[in-house]
Every structure is written in C-alpha cells, then in structure tokens.
Chain A
Amino acid sequence: MDEFEQFLSKQPLHSIPPEWRRELLVAGGVPSRQPWWREWLWPSPVAWAALAAVWLVIIALNFTVRLPAHETAKRTSPAATDIAVAFAEHRRLLAELTLPETTPRHPQMKPGPRSELILNIQET
C-alpha cells in the first residue's frame, strides 16, 4: 500500500452502537441474564476500571494530604490566638489614642465635705 492508501486505512470507522450487543445476542438466543456488573460496565469495562482506579488514587492522595493538614492546623492554632491577642491589644491602644482629650481618663474623685467630727473628739 502506498502513502495515500495507508492514510485512508488509518481513518477511524464509526463504532457499533453499544446497545446492539444486547439486542443481537438476545435475538441470537443468548439469555440476557448476565452478571449485573457486566451489563453495567459494558461496553467499556476497561475505561470504567481506569476511572475507578483514578478515583482510588484521588481518595488515597486525599487521605495522605489530609493528615498533615490537621497537624498543620494544630500547629497554627496558637499563632492564631497570638494574632487575636495582638489584635485586641492594638484595638485597645487605638481606642486610647482616639479618645477625646477633654475626657478624663479616670473619673476624678471629688473630696467630700470635711467632717469636723474627728477634730471635736480630739479636742475633747
């Protein structure tokens, strides 16, 4: 075969419809009672198996990645509380700085009226 014929022979032909298998075999007298998994997986059992394998790999990877993630989360928890404390301190300082100057920081205690009672007792 020359180059042109080889090129023609490489043109992929249309695939037989998958549902024909069951129809034709039943017509040929083959009972349709097949294992459920065989009918379920047909017509591409290899493709389904490959897909299942990919999922297993993904799940396995997920488990192996998840454990260190928990540990990392535990390790980062104190840091998170540190950040929270620092943030609270920052807010407190900011609040102090932004308070109006006229506002007394602490309410001043006014002295009450002097009592003469003690002096009177001492004199007597």
Chain B
Amino acid sequence: MAAPLDLQRLYDNHAQALFAFLLNFTRHEADTHDVLQEVFLKLAQRPGLLDGVAEPRAFLIRLAHNQAIDLMRRRTTRQKSYEQLAAESDTLFASSGDPDEVAFRQGLAEVLAELPAEQRAVVHLKLWEGMTFDAIAGALEIPPNTAASRYRYGIDKLRDRLRPLYEEIKNHGRV
C-alpha cells in the first residue's frame, strides 16, 4: 500500500494537469471526475505502479487516457455520443472579464470540441502541457509521426476557424 503522503503529493503535483487533459478529452466534467477517481484508486491499489517511472506526468496521462477510452467504450450505447457531449462543454477555459477574451475562449472551446478526440488529446498535450511529440507519442501509445500529423491537422483547423477572432485581439494589441 502506498504511503498516503505519496498519493497526496501525486495529487498536488499532477491532478490539475490530468483534470485539464481529461476535461478536454472527454468534454464532460462528471466523466473527468470518474476517470480521475479510477486513476487514483488504481494508484492506491498498486503502489508500485510508478516504480522506475522517469516521467510520472506522462505516465499518469497515459493511465488517464486509457481509463478515459475504456469509459468511452463502455458508454457507446448511450444516446449521446462523446462528440455530441463535446458540444455541450463550456467550462474548459477559465472565465475572463474581457469580452474579447471570453469570445475567443468560447470559440476555441467550440473548435476544439469539433476535433476528433485523439487530435484534441495531441493538441492539448502539445499546447498546454508543452510536451514533445516523442513524449506525446509515449503517453498516448502512438508513433511520433502520428502525434505530429494529428497535431498539424488539429492546429490548422483551429487556425482557420479562429483567425478572425485572433486577428481582432491582435489588432487590439493584446497578443
């Protein structure tokens, strides 16, 4: 059994990143909670899981990603697909008092929701975790070239769709 302090340390160091990744991937806060709970339960049940792991963050993302895919498969019989659920999510980004920022974040969340989940995962890890394509490939268990191409497709779509909003913010000197 892992020492309680270790689990707390893991939570404090990685839970926010896992939460953001899972929320972007599943687009559903309740599912994010369920997956995170399964991750920490698994860590508690198998304290040696992180032994010899050089990059705990990447390992935990892989664990969370696999748990999320299992959850998605279990729920394929639901009326709503995850792509439909994706359109409902509006809490991916922090709120802002600036209307331009609000509009941009809303637009960004919407376009992210339109991306296939696996593209979204790569884009998230590259943009908000700053991971390399090799690290992303390791975390998502895909070849690095696949990670790079998924990122390229995803970012191109984001660029195309968000260009007007981005240019407006840029013209206001906020970039």
- Verify A7–B175 contact, CB threshold 8 A: yes
- Verify B159–A13 contact, CB threshold 8 A: no
A: interface residue count bin: 20 to 34
Give which listed residue, B1, B7, B15, B159, contacts A16 with CB less than 8 A. Answer: B15
- The verdict on A8 contacting chain B, using a C-beta distance below 8 Å, is yes
Decide yes or no: A20 and B44 within 8 Å by CB, A25-B11, A30-B8 being known contacts: no
Decide yes or no: A28 and B155 within 8 Å by CB, A13-B20, A15-B94, A16-B15 being known contacts: no
Minimum Cβ distance to chain B for residue A37 (Å)? 15
Give which listed residue, B43, B104, B128, B158, contacts A28 with CB less than 8 A. Answer: B43
Number of interface residues of B (CB under 8 A): 35
- The verdict on A36 contacting chain B, using a C-beta distance below 8 Å, is no
Minimum Cβ distance to chain B for residue A40 (Å)? 16
- The verdict on A24 contacting chain B, using a C-beta distance below 8 Å, is yes
For the complex with contacts A24-B11, A25-B40, 10 further pairs of A-B residues with Cβ separation under 8 Å are: A1-B127, A9-B130, A13-B20, A13-B23, A13-B24, A14-B92, A15-B19, A28-B7, A28-B41, A29-B44
Interface string of A1-26 (1 = CB under 8 A from B): 10111011101111110001101110
Residue in chain A with minimal CB distance to B166: A4
14 A-B pairs within 8 Å (CB atoms) are namely A4-B159, A5-B127, A7-B166, A9-B128, A11-B104, A13-B20, A14-B20, A14-B23, A14-B93, A16-B19, A27-B40, A28-B41, A28-B43, A30-B4
